[in-house]
Amino acid sequence: METLRGKVAIVGAADSEVGVVPQKGATQLCIDAALRALKDAGISKDQIDGLITCNSFSEPILYHAETIAEYLQIFPKYCVSVANGGATTFTMLHHAASAIVTGMCDTVLITMADSLRSGLTRDQAMTLQASTGHPEFEIPFGPTVPAYYALLARAHMEKYGTTTEQLAAVAVSARKHASLNPAAQMREIITIEDVLHSRMVADPLHLLDCSLVSDGGAAVILTSAERAKEFPHHPVYLLGVGEGHHQEHITQSHNLTASAAVDSGRRAYEMAGLSPKDIDFAQIYDAFTSMVILQLEDLGFCEKGEGGAFVESGAIDLGGKMPVNTHGGLLSHCHSGHPGSIFALTETVNQLRHQAGQRQVPNAEVALVHGQGGIASSHATLILGRDRA
């Protein structure tokens, strides 16, 4: 079987301003991130011959990738839009790597942004939150996205004894990391009690168990491993990638306490020839605290049912056994919708370049980055390394 291991590298990465950015719309943020990534890579836009984007909720465009190419005045031979929720970034990277390895193009720009905080009214945001379910079997009963995830959290608690304090420990860890990140939207330290005393959103999820609502975008640039040495920064190599898809709607799930991260992680580990013990740090999609616990289990960092104790022990903190979401994650850095997971990717690039400042994981060599979209629907896992081999 053809493998992508060590054949493609990230050579440029950059974020736009994030948080509350009313002076720029989603399209402007998308372009801004692209230009910053080009500068980081030390190349001109004319050297880009592949473009992958994701449409935005606040400024939807019918032919999004083609329009962004038009704005940039580039004329790629590979141009596509991708959208599958929080897995979008890593699905995009899977597509980009495949395009490079098969000769469809040489240098791919991935750029995405949205303005969920400034670009949507409260009514529009609530409509969005309430429109993701199955039109016949879910939406008529009125649940929003947090309610679906509360169902998953409650199922894990009932089966394994996971506690609200353990959920809260995920949020506390994310905020510790965000406090070291000057770009993070929320940097004030919080405690377990702060999380438990924040208002209930969907039992058992409190406000601080839920991700932020943000504006922002980011971009990365990929090319072949052979060409990567020509760029100014240390390349970050793709070692493994895998996807997993079990269901779209949560009412069709076969198991509320396990996810397709089991499949995506296994496929990524197999391609990389690595296992969880080889990973130095992880970025795990944290739209809700409970999902970090579930995905840590499914990705093999602890046994099934032990995720709550794992996070409670401090294992996911910087300096712990497996630092998680070193930039602050969706819970504290920012969450701008589909682009949310790309900030985990740009953070990983900084970590593997050894340029993450106060939050640097010492001697970081190999990272796992995982995203999931929908209601635990689409899962994608990357394993990235500082070295090719």
Spans of all domains in the chain: 8-120+214-228
The pLDDT assigned to 215 comes to: 97
pLDDT in tens, 360-385: 999 999 999 999 999 999 999 999 99
Mean per-residue pLDDT, 126-142: 84
- Binning pLDDT at 50, 70 and 90, where does residue 298 land? very high
Residue with more model confidence, 325 or 122: 325
What is the C-alpha R_g of the chain? 19
Distance CA 329, CA 184 (A): 9
Mean per-residue pLDDT, 68-96: 95
The pLDDT assigned to 69 comes to: 98
Mean per-residue pLDDT, 247-276: 95
CA distances from 224 to 98, 199, 260, 370, 381 (A): 10, 48, 29, 22, 20
Mean per-residue pLDDT, 272-276: 97
pTM score of the predicted model: 0.96
- Binning pLDDT at 50, 70 and 90, where does residue 2 land? low
DSSP string over 118-173? TSS-HHHHHHHHTSSS-TTTTGGG---HHHHHHHHHHHHHHHH---HHHHHHHHHH
Architecture field, domain 8-120+214-228: 3-Layer(aba) Sandwich (3.40)
Indicate if the pLDDT at residue 347 is higher than 70.
yes
The pLDDT assigned to 134 comes to: 87
Closest Cα partner for 172 from 358, 332, 6, 382?
Answer: 332
The pLDDT assigned to 190 comes to: 98
Average per-residue pLDDT for the chain: 96
The pLDDT assigned to 342 comes to: 97
Distance CA 118, CA 356 (A): 28
The pLDDT assigned to 122 comes to: 82
- Binning pLDDT at 50, 70 and 90, where does residue 232 land? very high
